[in-house]
Chain A
């Protein structure tokens, strides 16, 4: 894990996305299932892009591009529970021609629960072949 615990890099452009933990998100141990966090993180990434003018739905349907996850690193420090309100802070930590890495922290009332680094490639539809990350996505990693 490359991000320091709970530390958002200075100058990072951060999106804050909130979710309420549903009952369906939990497992038999009554905590949020580890796989559920990936769904939360995905929603946060989509919001990050939307806030910066990239509608991911149109990214796929109009531009015929997609951003599949190629690597996911998640550190679960404390469990989230049913009905918790979580805040997911997400920023684009790395973006270049080959990949984009979104880093996130998941908080509950300011308490750090989870750290994540999710790396995406860019592929072109319908071929499914990898291609270069668009310049306007790469540019999101740089402060205006």
Chain B
């Protein structure tokens, strides 16, 4: 899967879990109404989708789509 494809897949997961229409690049999750609990739900859904595990201490890195892409792409390599 290319980086662009991964980004779009993750964007779709974020949008679905957070129930938002759009997840623009560079927009903080906070601005989209995504709180810290929802961020964990997003990561949990990504874990299920890709059968990976994101350690507890890395959850705090999740702030926007870019950070999710960066975090997950390292797990998939």
Contact = CB atoms under 8 A, between A and B. Distances in A.
| Interface of A (DSSP majority class) | loop
Contacts of B44: 96-98
A121 B56 contact: no
Contacts of A70: 37
B38 A98 contact: yes
A132 B44 CA distance: 9
Which of A70, A96, A98, A131 has the most chain B CB atoms closer than 10 A to its own CB?
A: A98
A121 B36 CA distance: 10
Of the listed residues B40, B43, B60, the one surrounded by the most CB atoms of chain A closer than 10 A to its CB is B40
A131 B47 CA distance: 16
Q: Interface on chain B toward A: helix, strand, loop, or mixed SS?
A: helix
Interface string A126-140: 000111100000000
B56 A132 contact: yes
Contacts of B56: 131-132
10 contacts: A70-B37, A97-B40, A97-B47, A98-B37, A98-B41, A99-B37, A99-B41, A130-B36, A130-B37, A130-B40
